C-alpha cells in the first residue's frame, strides 16, 4: 500500500510567513490541503486576509469553499477524505460555529474521517495594545470556559494554538493524528492575537516530517490461529463493515472469499466487496449467521443485532479491525474469541497465505464445493430482484424498488453514490450494483445531514466522476440544502441529489409502531412530529439555489428525469430530483 507523505515545504519555494495566520496557511499547504471549507466570523479575519495576501504574493494557497452552514463544511471535508484519504480543513467561527458542526462531527468519529477543524476563539486581550485584541461586545459573550469541551467527546485530539513559535509542530501533528488510523477529526482553536502574531525568524521547517503512522499488519501467530479455524470450518461467514475504505482491501477480500468459498454479509458502508459477486449476500444473512461455525468480523462496529438473532453459542468468532476494542463505545459486548488489531488490507493477504499453506487438497476441494453451493443461490436471488423491480416499475406512487433499479440503469461503473436513504437504504443497496471500490459511500454513522455537503467534497476530490446523493426527504433538509447547493455552485462541484420523498420521517414513525403495537398512535394514526403535512417544494428550493430542480411523480418519467438531472450536472449545474413516494 502506498504510504502518503506530506508535501515538502521546499517545493514550491515559499516566502517567510509574516504573521501567524500566514504560517498556518503555509503549513496547511505543506500538508496537502487543497480546500478550506470556510464559514468565517470576526475571529477568522486574519486567516481570510492571509489567503488573499499569500495568493497576491504568488504563493500556493488552498481554494476556499464558502459554506453557509457549518455542517455542510464538515461534510464536505468528510467526503473529500473518503475519496483521497487526505484531511482537508474546516474553519468555523468560535463556539457557535463549532456547535453548528452538529451531527456531522459524530459522523467523522464513527465513519473514521480524517479532517482538521480550526475554530476561532475570543481574543485574549482587552486593552487594545495587542493586534487582534477584543473590539466587539460579542467577544465577551463568545468567550467560553471550555470551548474545546464542545467537541472533546468526538475528536481524536484537540488543542489551543497559543503561540506562533510552536505552530510548526502542532499543525503538522494535527494532520498526522487526523489521518492515522482509526482516522478522525482533530480540533484546534486559535485567537486573533496568535493569528496576527509576528513570525519573524519563527521556523516552519519540520512540516514535511509529520507522516500518518503506518498501520499494523496482523500478528502472525494470531493469523495462523484464525486460518486454522477457517480451514476447518464447515459453514464460515464474513461480516464486513468498512474494510473497503482502503480500496486495495476489496480485491484482497475477493481473493479470500473465492479461496475459501466464504459468503460475505455486508453492513452497508463503502464498497467492501463487489455487490454483483455471487458470494455477496448483502445485508440479508440471518440464516447464514445462525448456521455459521466460524465467523470473521472485518472492521465492523455492529455485526448483528442480538434481539433479531445472532450466531450459535458454539460459533468461533475472529475479528480483524484497526480498532477491535471500540473503546469509544461504552456498551460493546459482541463475543469475539480472537480480536486482532490490524489494517485489514494488510491482514487479508496474510490470512490468504496462511490458509493456502494449511489447506491440503481435501480441504481445498471442500472450499470449492462450498463456493459452488453458495454461488448457486445467486441466480435465483437475481431473478427475484429483477421481478421485484419489474413489478414495481409502474406502481403509483413511485416505488423505491423501481427508483433503485432506474438509478442502476443511469449510473456508470465509476459513478460515486452517496447513500443516506435511511429506511430505504436496504432496498436501494439491494438493487444498486456497485462493484468498483469507492463507488458507494455512506457517513458510517447515524448523524443525518451528511450526503449533500459530502457530495460537494467528493466532487472536488473526483472532478471527472459523476456524483449522486440518494437521501430521504428528512435527510435532505438536515443536509442544509440551501448551503450545500450554493457551495456546489460556488465551488463548481455539481452533483445530483435524489430525494426519496415519503413526506416525513419514517424512521421516527416505525419505532412507535414497534414499541406500541396497537397503541394509541397506531389506533389514531397519529404520529406527532414525523409527517410533513405541507412539505416544502424541494424542486423550487433547488432552483432558487441556481440548481436544476424537478418534481417526479410519474414512474414513467423517472428515467427521463434522471437523465435530465445528470445532463444538468454534466453541464456544471447541481440538480435535485424530488421523487414522490408513498407518504408515511
Ligand atoms: C441529526 C439527526 N437528527 C435526528 C435524527 C433522528 N432520526 C433518525 S432517522 C430520522 C428520519 C429520517 O427521515 P428521512 O431522511 O426522510 O428518511 P425516512 O425515515 O423517511 O426513510 C430521524 C429524524 C438523526 N439520526 N440525526
Ligand atoms: Mg422520509
Using an 8 Å Cβ cutoff, are 325 and 343 in contact? no
Instruction: Give the dihedral of Cα atoms 497, 502, 506, 509; nearest 10 deg.
Output: 150
Closest ligand to residue 102's CA: 1
**79 CA → ligand 2 middle, Å:** 23
Band of residue 15 on the pLDDT scale cut at 50, 70, 90: confident
Q: Which three cell numbers stand for residue 456?
A: 460537494
DSSP per-residue codes, 384-422: HHHHHHHHHTT-SSBPHHHHHHHHHHH--TTPEEEEE-G
**316 CA → ligand 1 middle, Å:** 36
pLDDT over threshold 50, residue 398: yes
Smallest CA-to-CA distance from 214 within 168, 246, 185 is with 246
As for ligand 1, residues whose beta carbon falls within 6 Å of it are 103, 422-424, 446-449, 472-475, 478, 502, 505-508
Ligand 1: nearest atom to the Cα of 425: 21
Ligand 1: nearest atom to the Cα of 447: 26
CA atoms within 13 A on the CB side of 377: 12
- 512-532: average pLDDT: 97
- What per-residue confidence (pLDDT) applies to 60? 96
Q: How far apart are CA 10 and CA 30, in angstroms?
A: 9
Q: Residue 238: beta bridge partners?
A: 264, 296
Domains of the chain by start residue, with CATH:
20-195 (3.40.50.970), 220-376 (3.40.50.1220), 380-580 (3.40.50.970)
Instruction: Give the dihedral of Cα atoms 502, 506, 507, 513; nearest 10 deg.
Output: -170
Pairing of strands 294-298, 316-321: parallel
- What per-residue confidence (pLDDT) applies to 209? 75
- What per-residue confidence (pLDDT) applies to 203? 77
What's the pLDDT tens digit per position in 29-44?
Answer: 999 999 999 999 999 9
What's the pLDDT tens digit per position in 554-568?
Answer: 999 999 999 999 999
pLDDT over threshold 70, residue 7: no
Closest ligand to residue 451's CA: 1
Mean pLDDT for the chain overall: 95
Q: How far apart are CA 303 and CA 342, in angstroms?
A: 18
Band of residue 208 on the pLDDT scale cut at 50, 70, 90: low
Encode 202-236 in three state secondary structure.
Answer: CCCHHHHHCCCCCCCCCCHHHHHHHHHHHHHCCCE
- If one residue of 472, 480, 497 were mutated to test the ligand 1 pocket, choosing by the most ligand atoms within 8 A of its CB, it would be 472
CA distances from 230 to 44, 141, 322 (A): 55, 61, 20
- What per-residue confidence (pLDDT) applies to 470? 98
- What per-residue confidence (pLDDT) applies to 206? 58
**385 CA → ligand 2 middle, Å:** 23
Coil, strand or helix: which one is 312? coil
pLDDT over threshold 80, residue 2: no
Ligand 1: nearest atom to the Cα of 501: 16
- If one residue of 99, 453, 474, 527 were mutated to test the ligand 1 pocket, choosing by the most ligand atoms within 8 A of its CB, it would be 474
What's the pLDDT tens digit per position in 314-354?
Answer: 999 999 999 999 999 999 999 999 999 999 999 999 999 99
Q: How far apart are CA 493 and CA 509, in angstroms?
A: 35
DSSP per-residue codes, 313-342: TT-EEEEEESSTT-TTSSS-----SEEEES
Helix residue spans in 491-537 (DSSP H): 506-515, 520-524
Enumerate residues 6+ apart whose C-beta is below 8 A from 334. Answer: 297, 302, 303, 304, 317
- What per-residue confidence (pLDDT) applies to 210? 86
pLDDT over threshold 90, residue 97: yes
Residues with CB under 5 A from ligand 2 (ion): 472-474, 502
Ligand 1: nearest atom to the Cα of 475: 15
pLDDT over threshold 60, residue 6: no
Using an 8 Å Cβ cutoff, are 548 and 574 in contact? yes
- 300-313: average pLDDT: 96
**447 CA → ligand 1 middle, Å:** 8
What's the pLDDT tens digit per position in 352-384?
Answer: 999 999 999 999 999 999 999 999 999 999 999
Ligand 1: nearest atom to the Cα of 507: 19
Band of residue 202 on the pLDDT scale cut at 50, 70, 90: confident
**505 CA → ligand 1 middle, Å:** 6
Query: By percentage, how much of the chain surpasses pLDDT 90?
Result: 95
Q: How far apart are CA 100 and CA 70, in angstroms?
A: 5
Q: How far apart are CA 415 and CA 466, in angstroms?
A: 5
CA angle, residues 426, 483, 479, in degrees to nearest 5 = 20
Closest ligand to residue 424's CA: 1
Ligand 1: nearest atom to the Cα of 423: 21
- What per-residue confidence (pLDDT) applies to 345? 97
Band of residue 4 on the pLDDT scale cut at 50, 70, 90: very low
Q: How far apart are CA 225 and CA 350, in angstroms?
A: 12
For the ranges 198-212, 244-258, 276-290, the lowest mean pLDDT is seen at 198-212
pLDDT over threshold 70, residue 66: yes
Amino acid at each position: 500500500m502506498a504510504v502518503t507523505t506530506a508535501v515538502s515545504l521546499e517545493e514550491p519555494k515559499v516566502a517567510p510567513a509574516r504573521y501567524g495566520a500566514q504560517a498556518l496557511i503555509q503549513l496547511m499547504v505543506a500538508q496537502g490541503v487543497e480546500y478550506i471549507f470556510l464559514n468565517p466570523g470576526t475571529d477568522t479575519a486574519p486567516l481570510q486576509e492571509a489567503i488573499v495576501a499569500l495568493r497576491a504574493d504568488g504563493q500556493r494557497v488552498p481554494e476556499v469553499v464558502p459554506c453557509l452552514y457549518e455542517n455542510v463544511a464538515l461534510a464536505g471535508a468528510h467526503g473529500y477524505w473518503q475519496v483521497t484519504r487526505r484531511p482537508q480543513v474546516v474553519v468555523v467561527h468560535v463556539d457557535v460555529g463549532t456547535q453548528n458542526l452538529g451531527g456531522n462531527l459524530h459522523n467523522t468519529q464513527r465513519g473514521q474521517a480524517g479532517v482538521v477543524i480550526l475554530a476561532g476563539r475570543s481574543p485574549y486581550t482587552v486593552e487594545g495594545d495587542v493586534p487582534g485584541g477584543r473590539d466587539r461586545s460579542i467577544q465577551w459573550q463568545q468567550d467560553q470556559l471550555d470551548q474545546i469541551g464542545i467537541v472533546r467527546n468526538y475528536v481524536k485530539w484537540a488543542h489551543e494554538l497559543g503561540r506562533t513559535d510552536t505552530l510548526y509542530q502542532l499543525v503538522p501533528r494535527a494532520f498526522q493524528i487526523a489521518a492515522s488510523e482509526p482516522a478522525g477529526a482533530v480540533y484546534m482553536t486559535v485567537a486573533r492575537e496568535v493569528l496576527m502574531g509576528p513570525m519573524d525568524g519563527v521556523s516552519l521547517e519540520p512540516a514535511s516530517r509529520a507522516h500518518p503512522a503506518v498501520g499494523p499488519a496482523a500478528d502472525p501467530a494470531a493469523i495462523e490461529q484464525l486460518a486454522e479455524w477457517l480451514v476447518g470450518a464447515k459453514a464460515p461467514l464474513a461480516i464486513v463493515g468498512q474494510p473497503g475504505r482502503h480500496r486495495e482491501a476489496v480485491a484482497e477480500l475477493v481473493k479470500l472469499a473465492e479461496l475459501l468459498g466464504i459468503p460475505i454479509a455486508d453492513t452497508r458502508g463503502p464498497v467492501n466487496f463487489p455487490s454483483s459477486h455471487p458470494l455477496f449476500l448483502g445485508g440479508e444473512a440471518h440464516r447464514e449467521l445462525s448456521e455459521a461455525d466460524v465467523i470473521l468480523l472485518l472492521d465492523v462496529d455492529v455485526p448483528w443485532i442480538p434481539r433479531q438473532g445472532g450466531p450459535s453459542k458454539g460459533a468461533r468468532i475472529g475479528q480483524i479491525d484497526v480498532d477491535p476494542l471500540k473503546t469509544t463505545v461504552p456498551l460493546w459486548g459482541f463475543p469475539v474469541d480472537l480480536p486482532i488489531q490490524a489494517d485489514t488490507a494488510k491482514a487479508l493477504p496474510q490470512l490468504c497465505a496462511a490458509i493456502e499453506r494449511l489447506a491440503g487438497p481435501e480441504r481445498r476441494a471442500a472450499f470449492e464445493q462450498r463456493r459452488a453451493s453458495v454461488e448457486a443461490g445467486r441466480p435465483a436471488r437475481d431473478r427475484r430482484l429483477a421481478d421485484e423491480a419489474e413489478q414495481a416499475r409502474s406502481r403509483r406512487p413511485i416505488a423505491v424498488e423501481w427508483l433503485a433499479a432506474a438509478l442502476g440503469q443511469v449510473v456508470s461503473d465509476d459513478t460515486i453514490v452517496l447513500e443516506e436513504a435511511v429506511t430505504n437504504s436496504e432496498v436501494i443497496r439491494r438493487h444498486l450494483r456497485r462493484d468498483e471500490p469507492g463507488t458507494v459511500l455512506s457517513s458510517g454513522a447515524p448523524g443525518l445531514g451528511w450526503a449533500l455537503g459530502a457530495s460537494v467534497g467528493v466532487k472536488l476530490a473526483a472532478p471527472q466522476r459523476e456524483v449522486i446523493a440518494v437521501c430521504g426527504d428528512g435527510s435532505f433538509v438536515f443536509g442544509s440544502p440551501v448551503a450545500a447547493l450554493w457551495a456546489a455552485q460556488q465551488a463548481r462541484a455539481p452533483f445530483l441529489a435524489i430525494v426519496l420523498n415519503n413526506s416525513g420521517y419514517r424512521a421516527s414513525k416505525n419505532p412507535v409502531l414497534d414499541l406500541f403495537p396497537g397503541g394509541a398512535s397506531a389506533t389514531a394514526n397519529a404520529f406527532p412530529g414525523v409527517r410533513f403535512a405541507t412539505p416544502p417544494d424541494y424542486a423550487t428550493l433547488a432552483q432558487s439555489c441556481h440548481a436544476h430542480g424537478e418534481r417526479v411523480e410519474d414512474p414513467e418519467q423517472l428515467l427521463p428525469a434522471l437523465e435530465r438531472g445528470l445532463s444538468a450536472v454534466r453541464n456544471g449545474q447541481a440538480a435535485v430530483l424530488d421523487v414522490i413516494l408513498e407518504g408515511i
